[in-house]
Structure 1
Amino acid sequence: MKIQHLHNQEINRLRYDNALKRSFNANIFAYSWYMDQTCDEWELLIEGDYETVCPIPLIRKMGIAKVSQPRMTPFLGVFSSNHLPAEKVEAILHSIPYANISLTLNHLNRLTKYNRKRTVKVPVLDLITPYKKIKERYSEEANAALSKNDGSFVMRSIRSDEYMFFRRRQKKKGATEEMQLTRIMNYAIRYKSAGIYATYSSRNELIAAVFLIKSNNRLFLFDCTENQEGRRSHGVFKAINQLIESNCESNLTLEVPFACEALTSLIMFDQHQCLRYKKGFL
């Protein structure tokens, strides 16, 4: 197995992204445009003719390069269109040419030895079943919220600037995170791989919104926000319920890689187990 290390300027981005499209375990966080938005610097390991790839996110402190999981990237790891036994995953990870590494792998990357305490659990919901069957996973509180006629309704007409304005009023986040989210949102919506579901009150006022990105038959709940009325009305849940109802009986999986208590407390999700790979002192 020949593994090649490429610096950023040496990466053929078209071939890399096409390799991700063909892989059985790719996710939106590994694509070149997303890596560009979230990493100060990144490199790549490839096997063969981009048959298997492993992006390497880098940070530099005092001139020393370290492999570190970007803040807005929940998991990366090794991606391939071929079979990925644990031994192959480990061989590629061991080929990363840096002494200090901290990576969260995707859920289809296995290791022969790992610490169970270091696993990251990602809520997932398969949408292939009928809506009625999915609703059986809803809590009593969730079903009560749907049956309550409070006049709220869900639409997809909200723009990204409206979303970010509404979000800023509810969440006090750093300027860097807001800027990254804005760039990611605008890029994804421009290339028709994302959408925003918004919940409005009976007075036609925005009370909750969710931002999702679609990639490789997976819907990633990327960000969610709601105001006080939205929390009382379960606005985030209602927006996601609309998405589930519209996409049920399809070959899609809804994933919640970032914390969203407003949703995970109301729906019984399955879970993906993502292993953490560490080396050195990072």
Structure 2
Amino acid sequence: MEIKYIKNEEINRLRYDNTLKRSFNANVFAYSWYLDLACDEWDLLIEGDYETVCPLPLKKTMGINTVKQPSRIPLLGVFSSKHLPSEKVTSFIKAIPYKHVNLTLNHLNRLQNLRIKGIRKVAVLDLIPPYEKTIAKYSEKAREILPQNDGTFVMRSVRTDEYMFFKRSQKKGSTILNMQLTRIMNYAIRYKSAGIYSVYSPRNELIGAAFLIKSNNRVFLFDCVENPEGHKRHAIFRAINHLIETNSESNLTLELPFECKALEQMINFDHHHCQKYKKGIL
């Protein structure tokens, strides 16, 4: 079938998002609501009646339109509800009508006869096994911490404005990225399956929090922050352990599309390997 290029204003967003809902490899970053919040502009490649799609985040660099993922969109690529061989993925990438392209594809996209510019590793943890089996993947230090009752506790009670106030108090993130994060959090918590796991000290003071979005049977750790006491008490790990324990034996996968050293040091994650494609000099 012919691959068509569609400008943003011509996209049928209902059909596009429905394709992602049926897709075996879709992620939250590809949905129209998310692209609208995270991109300056984005267009689309489609095949057939939105059977296979490839969103194109656009950025103007030195007056030249380029295809480039902003920092809040770590993974994109080609998405389909049907079989997606490397030949089709390659055809989509070749059909991008721009000279300068910089994309990191999702882990089920593979390119054929195109130069790969590196691999992005994404930490993942399958939540189908029982909790007792999952904690076998925890580090020795993590397994030592779990039985200790240090008085901390995890809740889902923090609002977006409280989370962002706490994040800014730790001087985390630029002003522009924090404004963008606020918009994403507000929309996702209001309209999508998303939430904040907050961790409190024995004095009932907030010491850490993690923001997650659920999409396509996957839970994405989108953002997390802890203060010095939270770091000492392993607040982020406690929040994610709570999520793992309460969602064990479910058809979910926990994914860390953004780096989280505090967590990766505590859990021996598996990894998706996502190919990076780059064309041009920008």
TM-score range, shorter chain: over 0.9
Q: What SS does the aligned partner of 2:146 have?
A: helix
1:117 to 1:138, Cα distance in 2 relative to 1, 3 A: farther
Q: What's 1:280 paired with?
A: 280
Q: 1:123 to 1:113 in 2, by over 3 A?
A: farther
Determine the structure 1 residue equivalent to 2:240: 240
Please state whether the residue corresponding to 2:17 is helix, strand or coil.
Answer: helix
| Fraction of identical pairs, as percent | 66
> Quick one: distance in 2 between partners of 1:14 and 1:167?
34
Aligned residues of 2:207 and 2:226 also touching (Cα < 8 A): yes
Q: CA deviation at 1:280?
A: 1.3
Is the counterpart of residue 131 in structure 1 residue 105 in structure 2?
no
Q: Where does 1:25-44 land on structure 2 (aligned, <5 Å)?
A: 25-44=25-44
The residue number in structure 1 matching 2:203 is 203
Q: Distance in 2 between matches of 1:173 and 1:114?
A: 35
CA distance in 2, matches of 1:191, 1:61: 33
Partner AA of 2:76 in structure 1: L
Q: How far does residue 63 in structure 1 lie from its aligned partner after superposition?
A: 2.8
Equivalent residue, structure 2, for 1:84: 84
Counterpart Cα distance in 1 of 2:181 and 2:217: 22
Aligned residue number for residue 112 of structure 1 = 112
Alpha-carbon separation, structure 2, partners of 1:144 and 1:171: 31
Instruction: Give the match's secondary structure for 1:151.
Output: coil
Q: Displacement, 1:71?
A: 1.0
C-alpha offsets along residues 130-184 of structure 1, whole Å, 9 cap, x if unaligned? 0000010111111122122210010011111111111111134211100110000
**Shift of residue 117, structure 1, vs aligned partner:** 6.5
Partner of 1:165: 165
After the TM superposition, list the runs of 4 or more consecutive aligned residues in structure 1 that deviate by more than 4 angstroms: 113-117
Query: Match of 1:59, SS?
Result: strand
Q: Name the stretch that deviates more: 62-71 or 184-193.
A: 62-71
Aligned to 1:73: 73
The 3-state SS of whatever aligns with 2:19 is: helix
What is the deviation of 1:272?
0.2
Name the SS for the 1:199 alignment partner: strand
SS at 1:197 equivalent: strand
RMSD: 1.1
1:209-254 CA deviation, whole Å, 9 max, x = no partner?
0000000000000001000010110000000000000000000000
Q: What is the count of residue pairs matched by the alignment?
A: 282
Q: Which residue of 2 aligns with 1:140?
A: 140
Could you tell me how far apart the structure 2 residues matched to 1:29 and 1:192 are? 13
Per-residue Cα deviation, 1:52-74 (whole angstroms, up to 9, x for no partner) = 00000001134310001111101
Structure 2 residue 127 is matched with structure 1 residue 102:
no
Distance in 2 between the 1:13 and 1:112 partners? 29
- Asked whether the 8 Å contact 1:66–1:98 carries over to 2, the reply is yes
CA spacing shift, 1:141–1:252, aligned 2, 3 Å: same
Residues 67, 102 of structure 2: 8 Å contact kept: yes
Q: Partners in 2 of 1:152 and 1:185 — Cα distance?
A: 25
Within 2, Cα distance between the matches of 1:172 and 1:197? 18
* Separation (CA, whole Å) in 2 of partners of 1:92 and 1:115: 15
Q: Which runs of 5+ in 1 are unaligned?
A: none
Could you list the per-position Cα deviations for residues 84-134 of structure 1 after superposition, in whole angstroms to 9, with x for gaps in the alignment? 111110001100000000000000001124667600000000000000000
Bigger shift: residues 224-233 or 54-63: 54-63
The gaps in structure 2 that reach 5 residues or longer are none
Paired position in structure 2 for 1:212? 212
Equivalence for 1:15: 15
Partner residue in 1 for 2:227: 227
TM-score by length of 2: 0.98
Question: What TM-score do the two structures reach when normalised by structure 1?
Answer: 0.98
Which range moves more in the overlay, 110-119 or 264-273?
110-119
